[in-house]
């Protein structure tokens, strides 16, 4: 928008965001004493115009837009106008910045982001991204600008209890609680706080009767597989079938890119940053899986992701998509995406009791202790046979 096209004041959000720069910097009046500065570089700032103690006109910067919203800038301008009318002098920009910096240093949002940064090298990319999005969606809007030293245990309890009862997604709430608990634990050992306000809180929240990995019985598996194959949304149906046949961690499949798949070698190579173990992991692809992937590629060929969002091919589906799809098939509380791993583990271990080590590698479990240090084998040939057997087994029971 050009400045000549401005119709009213105060300036609307649409006007503020769309004003274009000109050859020279210019200001537009928003309200009493408050101006909106548009620099020729495109940077936008709020400024307050006032008379200083010497009776000369001066400018006070209030911060950049959109970081400083119109609402906040107008509030600050009203405070300045009120202070001047009472004969008070305005604080210098330096003092204001120092006060703001001190205040923001205690924001829970900043504490949480510092803690998350410590996890970036320890968690897989999918795990980190999932945690970040969940925190930004649920925690930051409520507690982001709260002083982390002043948020009480009751405030946290009421929040999580309300979220638990509103959403009904107990496992996700448990994760959120663990993130906040981890953040406060980190802050405690960094000397920022003396105690963790949510320590021991989980046992007082509503109990969740089902486990973290809901999965059907072996007898119920054929009916589930048939329903998945008849899913109206074919791409999601393929995704559920891939979760069953490959049994990866759900986030790994959701974030998977086509470049990770080698159809000639029949391998899916998951990069280290994607995996929970922080190690590259290769997954042999059965004939059935390659057929499913080929069909999936024909459905949505324009994205680098196997499962792009409906809103943008540059983003993936949400972490709840597969779970909601299973719920719609009638399996709420009976089968969740992570449960496919437990299901595969149960059947494979029952069938191949002497191949526990190979099955563990299929599941990408990190070996513990001395055994984990010295055993770097991926058992690729044995796993290829095992994965093909598993795909054949699923194909047979679904007939």
Residue whose tokens read 């007898």:
219
Lowest mean pLDDT among 78-87, 282-291, 343-352, 366-375: 366-375
Query: How far is 343 from 115, CA to CA, in rounded Å?
Result: 34
Q: Using 50, 70 and 90 to split pLDDT, how confident is the model at 37?
A: very high
- Per-residue confidence (pLDDT) for residue 261, from 0 to 100: 97
- CA end-to-end span of the chain, whole Å? 62
Highest-scoring range by mean pLDDT, 135-144, 157-166, 252-261? 252-261
CA angle 181, 251, 317 (to 5 degrees): 110
Question: Which helix or strand (DSSP H or E) is residue 34 part of?
Answer: strand 34-38
What pTM value is reported for the model?
0.53
Strand pairing report for 261-262 and 281-284: unpaired
Check whether 42 has a pLDDT greater than 80: yes
Lowest mean pLDDT among 27-31, 141-145, 324-328: 141-145
Question: Which helix or strand (DSSP H or E) is residue 268 part of?
Answer: strand 267-270
Average pLDDT (136-145) is: 89
Reduced DSSP (H G I as helix, E B as strand, rest coil) percent helix, strand, coil of the chain, to 5: 55, 10, 35
Quickly count: other Cβ atoms within 10 Å of residue 183's Cβ. Answer: 24
Q: Using 50, 70 and 90 to split pLDDT, how confident is the model at 171?
A: low
Average pLDDT (237-253) is: 95
User: Comparing 66 with 317, which gets the higher pLDDT?
Assistant: 317
- Per-residue confidence (pLDDT) for residue 372, from 0 to 100: 43
Q: Using 50, 70 and 90 to split pLDDT, how confident is the model at 172?
A: confident
For the chain, list the domains and their CATH numbers.
3-90 (3.30.160.390), 108-204 (1.10.150.130), 221-397 (1.10.443.10)
- Per-residue confidence (pLDDT) for residue 184, from 0 to 100: 95
Q: Using 50, 70 and 90 to split pLDDT, how confident is the model at 166?
A: low
Q: Using 50, 70 and 90 to split pLDDT, how confident is the model at 344?
A: very high
DSSP letter for each residue of 206-241? PP--S-SS----TTTHHHHHHHHHT-SSHHHHHHHH
At 322, list the tokens: 């597969």
Check whether 98 has a pLDDT greater than 90: no
The tally of CA atoms less than 13 A away on the side-chain side of residue 62 is 26
Residues with Cβ within 8 Å of 252's Cβ and at least 6 positions away in sequence, in order, are 124, 126, 270, 274, 275
> pLDDT digit string (tens) for 271-309?
988 887 778 999 999 999 999 999 999 998 889 999 999
Lowest mean pLDDT among 43-57, 280-294, 364-378, 383-397: 364-378
- Per-residue confidence (pLDDT) for residue 215, from 0 to 100: 84
Query: How far is 102 from 147, CA to CA, in rounded Å?
Result: 11
Query: How far is 50 from 377, CA to CA, in rounded Å?
Result: 72
Residues with Cβ within 8 Å of 201's Cβ and at least 6 positions away in sequence, in order, are 153, 156, 157, 160, 177, 181
Highest-scoring range by mean pLDDT, 6-10, 204-208, 251-255? 251-255
Lowest mean pLDDT among 34-48, 98-112, 280-294: 98-112
- Per-residue confidence (pLDDT) for residue 94, from 0 to 100: 56
- Per-residue confidence (pLDDT) for residue 376, from 0 to 100: 46
Check whether 371 has a pLDDT greater than 60: no
- Per-residue confidence (pLDDT) for residue 375, from 0 to 100: 44
Q: DSSP class of residue 259? A: G
Q: Contact 110/76 with Cβ under 8 angstroms? A: no
Highest-scoring range by mean pLDDT, 125-129, 369-373, 384-388? 384-388
User: Comparing 377 with 65, which gets the higher pLDDT?
Assistant: 65
Mean pLDDT of the chain: 86
- Per-residue confidence (pLDDT) for residue 67, from 0 to 100: 83
Question: Which helix or strand (DSSP H or E) is residue 261 part of?
Answer: strand 261-262
Task: Using DSSP, state whether 21 is helix, strand or coil.
Answer: coil
Lowest mean pLDDT among 12-21, 163-172, 187-196, 357-366: 163-172
Query: How far is 316 from 286, CA to CA, in rounded Å?
Result: 24
* Residue environment code for 49-69, b if the CB has 16+ CB neighbours within 10 A, otherwise e: bbeeeeeeeeebebbebeebe
Q: Contact 175/139 with Cβ under 8 angstroms? A: no
Average pLDDT (66-72) is: 86
Q: Contact 29/35 with Cβ under 8 angstroms? A: yes
């Amino acid at each position: 928008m050009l400045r000549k096209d401005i119709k009213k004041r105060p300036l609307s959000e649409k006007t503020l965001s769309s004003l274009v720069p000109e050859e020279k910097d210019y200001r537009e009046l928003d309200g009493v004493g408050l101006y909106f500065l548009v620099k020729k570089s495109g940077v936008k700032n709020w400024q307050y115009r006032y008379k200083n103690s010497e009776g000369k006109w001066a400018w006070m910067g209030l911060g950049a837009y959109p970081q400083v919203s119109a609402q906040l800038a107008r509030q600050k301008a009203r405070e300045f106008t009120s202070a001047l009318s009472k004969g008070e002098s305005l604080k210098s920009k330096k003092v204001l910045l120092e006060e703001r910096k001190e205040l923001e240093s205690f924001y829970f949002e900043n504490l949480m982001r510092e803690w998350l940064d410590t996890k970036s090298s320890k968690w897989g990319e999918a795990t980190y991204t999932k945690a970040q999005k969940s925190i930004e969606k649920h925690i930051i809007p409520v507690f982001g600008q709260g002083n982390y030293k002043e948020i009480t245990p009751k405030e946290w309890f009421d929040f999580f209890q309300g979220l638990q009862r509103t959403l009904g997604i107990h496992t996700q709430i448990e994760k959120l609680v663990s993130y906040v608990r981890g953040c406060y634990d980190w802050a405690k050992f960094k000397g920022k706080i003396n105690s963790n306000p949510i320590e021991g809180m989980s046992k007082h929240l509503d109990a969740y009767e089902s486990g973290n990995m809901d999965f059907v019985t072996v007898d119920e598996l054929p009916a589930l597989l048939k329903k998945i194959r008849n899913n109206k949304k074919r791409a999601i149906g393929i995704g559920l079938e891939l979760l069953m046949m490959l049994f990866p961690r759900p986030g790994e499949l959701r974030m998977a890119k086509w470049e990770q798949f080698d159809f000639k070698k029949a391998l899916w190579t998951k990069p280290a940053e994607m995996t929970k173990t922080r190690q590259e992991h290769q997954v042999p692809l059965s004939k059935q899986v390659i057929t499913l992937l080929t069909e999936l590629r024909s459905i949505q060929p324009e994205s680098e992701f196997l499962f792009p969002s409906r809103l943008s091919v540059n983003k993936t589906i949400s972490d709840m998509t597969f779970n909601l799809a299973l719920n719609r098939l009638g399996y709420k509380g009976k089968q969740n995406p992570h449960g496919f791993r437990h299901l595969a583990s149960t059947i494979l271990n029952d069938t191949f009791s002497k191949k526990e080590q190979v099955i563990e590698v299929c599941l990408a479990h990190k070996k513990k202790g001395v055994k984990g240090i010295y055993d770097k084998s991926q058992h690729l040939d044995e796993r290829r046979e095992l994965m093909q057997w598993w795909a054949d087994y699923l194909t047979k029971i679904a007939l």
